[in-house]
């Protein structure tokens, strides 16, 4: 049976008191009509808020909907055979649909991969957060009562996200101590448990580094029916939460905001240490760039490309497409350059769907007029170029004695001459502004002679790309432009899986210590690193990514 509806949140109490005031006004002929009208207007606003918030929230998944229906219809009196009540959960403890969507949104926004929940109750909040975690994400839920694990687990098992949830039953503090002993750390923590222990959970989380720097703690019920700020309130829970809120406010390790959602949701962020925030440790801390980060940025933040303008040639497919996605995901605006305008537009559309600013540009990089127009179009659109990713190339196979001048010239015109023209045209823009990152795609073939295929013109052209990179990298670094290259090994493409090439693939695999071909995604982190400020001291370098093949 469903528990009777009682006032739980400050807004619900306002509604309750307004209804009483309205009843008094209606029974008193001396109350002015204007006062009655204003009471009704206040009621309309207060009564409609929660329903409106629920209507405007994103639609919940079917497992969540099922769990919510099960929660509000369940008889929360667990009764032993002898009639003794073992467990009673008030309906006000059930996480609402709006709160669940807020938690889900916070997981998305914080990009959390590991979440800790203290106080699972019905499991609605846990499943909401799990839906926002990546496939390899994990949520550990601490729940005192095994009965609640049994209640939620069948719904977790139905959801594709339920596998991310591990429920640990028993006292939450015991679980926290076990997690701390194992050196565990979390991106986000949600606390909705026994109110008197909120402050103890909070202290333990921060004192034992269970929350990473920039991690988020969300705490439910921190307005507690308005009793945390009502001067005449003597409620024990209200007093405990009042003390908790004040403690967090005074804690220099964090910053917080209380959101008046339902019964109050506090969002707390752990901030990086500064000497001003904790003078007691100042004498023991070497507060340099190693500690605080270069320009205050932690190492992963230094890989961000926010506000940068990039282009990638040969970006309509394969490695170039993967590079374009990677640079865009890191924050850059990306121009997609390709000889096939349709393919360029398709990739640009892909980036747009991911919220990345993009531009499709047709260019044949073997033609100097196309290269200059490509640069002019990008500068006209976005004002500058910070990152030039010269990736376009071709490969033709023939025995050396049969290699024609036409094949040689065609290969060099794109692989080396075209790369040079792109470096030069982009370099002029970068040298003028005193900053730039040029990343050329070379090949493992610049280091070894791949076999058994015969590809003289390709191998020689890619060796030229490496020497071009080394020369420009040393010549331009003192003017703020770094030039590096990436040498991939054999990359897995649909063409490689054709029946005619199967024997060749098996031969290649026998030459690769890693035991597999490269995926284009294996190269993405490298291009982001070379494009970022984190690689400022690297220039003229050939970054080889080939699964160890060049070492055998």
Which residues are designated catalytic? Answer: 458
Q: What phi and psi values does residue 457 have, to the nearest 5 degrees?
A: -65, -40
CA distances, 522 to each of 326, 438, 489, 512, 526 (Å): 11, 20, 10, 15, 8
Which helix or strand (DSSP H or E) is residue 336 part of?
A: strand 333-338
**Cβ-based neighbour number of residue 251 at 10 Å:** 17
Query: Do 495 and 501 meet the contact criterion of CB atoms below 8 Å apart?
Result: yes
CB crowding 155-169: b at 16 or more within 10 Å, else e: bbeebebbebbebbb
207/81 Cα distance (integer angstroms):
44
Q: Is 232 exposed, middle or buried (0-12, 13-18, 19+ CB in 10 A)?
A: exposed
Query: Do 473 and 482 meet the contact criterion of CB atoms below 8 Å apart?
Result: yes
Query: Do 54 and 60 meet the contact criterion of CB atoms below 8 Å apart?
Result: no
**Cβ-based neighbour number of residue 362 at 10 Å:** 18
Evaluate the omega torsion of the peptide bond into residue 456 and state whether it is cis, within 30 degrees of 0.
no
Q: What phi and psi values does residue 252 have, to the nearest 5 degrees?
A: -70, -10
Helix (H), strand (E), coil (C) string for 338-381: ECCHHHHHHHHHHHHHCCCCEEEEECCCCCHHHHHHHHHHHHHH
Contacts 24+ apart (CB under 8 A), 397-403: 397/453, 397/454, 397/455, 397/458, 398/454, 398/455, 398/456, 398/457, 399/454, 400/454, 400/456, 403/456, 403/457
Spatial neighbors of 26 by CB under 8 A, at least 6 apart, are 36
Which residues on adjacent β-strands are paired with residue 440? 390, 485
DSSP 176-212: HHHHHHTT--EEEEEE-S-GGGHHHHHHHHHHTT-EE
30/438 Cα distance (integer angstroms):
82
Spatial neighbors of 436 by CB under 8 A, at least 6 apart, are 385, 386, 387, 388, 426, 427, 429, 430, 480, 481, 482
3-state secondary structure of 83: coil
CB crowding 53-73: b at 16 or more within 10 Å, else e: beeebeebbebbebbbebbee
How far the first Cα of the chain sits from its last, in Å, is 71
């Amino acid at each position: 049976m469903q528990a009777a509806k009682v006032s739980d949140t400050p807004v619900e109490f306002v509604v309750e008191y307004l209804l009483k005031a309205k009843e008094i006004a209606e029974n008193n002929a001396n109350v002015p009509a204007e006062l009655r009208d204003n009471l009704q207007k206040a009621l309309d606003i207060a009564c409609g808020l929660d329903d409106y918030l629920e209507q405007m929230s994103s639609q919940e998944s079917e497992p969540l909907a099922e769990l919510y229906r099960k929660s509000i219809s369940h008889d929360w009196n667990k009764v032993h055979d002898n009639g003794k009540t073992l467990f009673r959960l008030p309906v006000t403890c059930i996480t609402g649909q709006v709160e669940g969507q807020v938690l889900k949104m916070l997981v998305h926004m914080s990009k959390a991969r590991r979440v800790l929940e203290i106080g699972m109750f019905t499991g609605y909040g846990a499943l909401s957060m799990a839906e926002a975690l990546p496939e390899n994400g994990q949520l550990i839920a601490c729940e005192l009562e095994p009965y609640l694990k049994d209640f939620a687990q069948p719904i977790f098992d139905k959801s594709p996200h339920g596998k991310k949830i591990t429920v640990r039953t028993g006292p939450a503090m015991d679980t926290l101590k076990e997690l701390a002993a194992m050196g565990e750390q979390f991106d986000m923590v949600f606390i909705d448990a026994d109110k008197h222990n909120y402050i103890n959970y909070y202290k333990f989380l921060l004192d034992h580094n269970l929350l990473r720097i920039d991690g988020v703690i969300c705490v439910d019920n921190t307005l507690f029916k308005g009793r945390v700020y009502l001067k005449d309130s003597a409620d024990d829970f209200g007093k405990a939460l009042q003390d908790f809120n004040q403690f967090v406010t005074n804690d220099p390790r964090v910053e917080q905001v209380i959101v008046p959602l339902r019964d109050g949701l506090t969002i707390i962020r752990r901030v990086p240490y500064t000497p001003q925030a904790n003078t007691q440790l100042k004498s023991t801390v070497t507060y340099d760039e190693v500690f605080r980060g270069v320009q205050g940025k932690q190492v992963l933040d230094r890989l961000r490309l926010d506000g940068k303008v990039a282009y990638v040639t040969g970006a309509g497919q394969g490695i170039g497409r993967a590079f374009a996605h990677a640079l865009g995901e890191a924050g850059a605006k990306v121009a997609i350059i390709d000889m096939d305008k349709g393919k360029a537009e398709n990739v640009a559309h892909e980036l747009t769907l991911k919220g990345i600013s993009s531009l499709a540009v047709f260019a044949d990089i073997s033609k100097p007029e196309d290269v200059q127009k490509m640069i002019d179009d990008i500068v006209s659109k976005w004002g500058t170029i910070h990152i030039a990713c010269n990736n376009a190339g071709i490969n033709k196979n023939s025995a050396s004695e049969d290699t024609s001048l036409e094949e040689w010239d065609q290969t060099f015109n794109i692989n080396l001459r075209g790369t040079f023209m792109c470096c030069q045209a982009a370099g002029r823009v970068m040298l003028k502004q005193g900053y730039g990152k040029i990343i050329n795609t070379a090949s493992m073939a610049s280091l070894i002679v791949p076999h058994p295929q015969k590809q003289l013109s390709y191998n020689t052209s890619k060796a030229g790309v490496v020497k071009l990179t080394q020369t420009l990298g040393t010549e331009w670094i003192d003017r703020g432009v770094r030039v590096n290259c990436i040498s991939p090994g054999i990359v897995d493409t649909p063409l490689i899986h054709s029946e005619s090439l199967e024997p060749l693939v098996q031969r290649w695999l026998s030459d690769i210590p890693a035991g597999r071909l490269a995926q284009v995604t294996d190269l993405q982190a490298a291009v982001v690193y070379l494009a970022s400020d984190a690689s400022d001291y690297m220039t003229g370098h050939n970054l080889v990514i080939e699964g160890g093949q060049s070492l055998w």
